[in-house]
Homo-oligomer: A and B are copies of this chain.
Amino acid sequence: MNIGVGVIGAGTVGGGVIETLTKNTDLIEARMGKAVRLAHVADLDASLIASFNLKGVVESSDAAALINDPNVHVVCELIGGIKPAKQFILSALQAKKHVVTANKMLLAYHGAELAHAASDNGVELRYEAAVAGGIPIIKALREGLAANHVQHVYGILNGTCNYILSRMTYESLEFDDVLKQAVALGFAEDPPDLDIEGADTAHKCQIIASLAFGTEVDYDDLHVEGITAITHADVAYARELGYIIKLMAVLRAGDEAIEACVHPALIPESHLLAAVRNEFNAVYVQSDIADATLYYGRGAGRLPTASAVVADVLDIARNEGPAQPAFVYGTRKRVLPMSESVGRYYLRLTTLDRPGILGEACTILGRCGVSISTCMQHEEHAPDSVHIVMMTHGTKEAELQAAIAEINALETTREPTHVIRVLED
């Protein structure tokens, strides 16, 4: 049977899907052994659709018309946001249409509800494009690693953050300067808050948790920390120590509680993730049978995202048997509070340049049970003010934070201590 595709939203990603389906029609038909054709495009802006100059494709301003078009078998929701996207998806599922979406925020908040609606109606809900754009990571987790218990996932999932941190690292720039340029060039969203504050990465982290660990995760249970506090000094000190700073989604399996959080982290320079530069994304998966695997590519952009959307459409077209479930949930697992997590830390103290201060800080850390592995003090970075940089051994976060609170309260401390977590294999 030939497959008709409906696209709701003819903007960036929708436009990429329209372009892919029309440009690569023959390739797709040859590979699939059946035709997969664009049947209907809906957008409130008729001129946007008209710009594609489509032939033999119904154009409408009404998503309901598209959903109810009998020639549409798969509905691609590509408008983003919660409303009205959620209602469009639910309507399509109820009309027994398969749905493909790139809407990570919607899935993060309502993924389970939508997955149940798909399953109740015997149709599929697919979302490869919602995490890491053109990288087939959802497929890798669902199918490629289907026989594996996932042990941990480290993801570089936001291209804007990775771009900013890369330029800070390799061009010695400050955060604000790179951000301003990125916004001016249209490379970062304006306002860029969802990206740089970590929320976008957190939404993807929730989706990965559902797939990897079979559990729903509420946004409010995640520790989410962006990159706005990272300075060029931290990036430079980290390199001196052999590390690169990246914004990471970190997920770890556990029996009763999983770890799931988003924060900047020091990655050893020898780790492949440290070599992922600029706007590229990568996902590193450690699992019990396949061991380490990594997936790299463009996490955003018109065509890379379209590649993932169309791959989902083709998977649906290929499958003539029963619909595959969007998520397979088991027992709901608790997310470990950040205070209970254990890891190594990078600390950057800013203090007066006086004798005895280093000793005092070390005494506090020792009393709180935090053990130091490396310590370096640099020349004055400002009049009468020095940076003391330390790396700790494995420490419980609660103990570390108690020590930091004490250090920050010292009269000799000039700025709050910068704390960045360290990720190692």
Contacts and interface: CB of A to CB of B under 8 A. Distances in A.
A155 interface: no
A125 to B, nearest CB: 16
A14 interface: no
Contact of A298 (B30, B31, B139, B291): B291
Interface in A286-307: 287-298, 301, 303-304, 306-307
Interface in A112-159: 128, 134-136, 139-140, 143-149
A291 B314 contact: no
A289 B329 CA distance: 32
A359 interface: no
Nearest to A140: B136
A87 interface: no
Nearest to A287: B307
Interface string A294-333: 1111100101101110110011001111101100101000
A27 interface: yes
A20 interface: yes
Given A295-B295, A321-B321, 4 more contacts: A136-B144, A144-B308, A294-B297, A320-B320
A214 interface: yes
Interface of A: 16, 20-21, 24, 27-28, 30-33, 128, 134-136, 139-140, 143-149, 214, 270, 272, 275-277, 280, 287-298, 301, 303-304, 306-308, 310-311, 314-315, 318-322, 324-325, 328, 330
10 contacts: A20-B147, A24-B288, A24-B289, A136-B145, A143-B311, A143-B318, A146-B311, A147-B310, A272-B272, A320-B320
Nearest to A289: B307
Contacts of A293: 134-136, 295-298
Contacts of A28: 146-147
Contacts of A136: 139-140, 143-145, 293
Contacts of A291: 134, 297-298, 301, 303-304
Given A30-B214, A314-B143, A304 B320 contact: no
A156 to B, nearest CB: 12
A294 B319 CA distance: 26
B307 A147 contact: yes
B27 A149 contact: yes
A148 B297 CA distance: 14
A303 B307 CA distance: 31
A290 to B, nearest CB: 4
Contacts of A324: 318
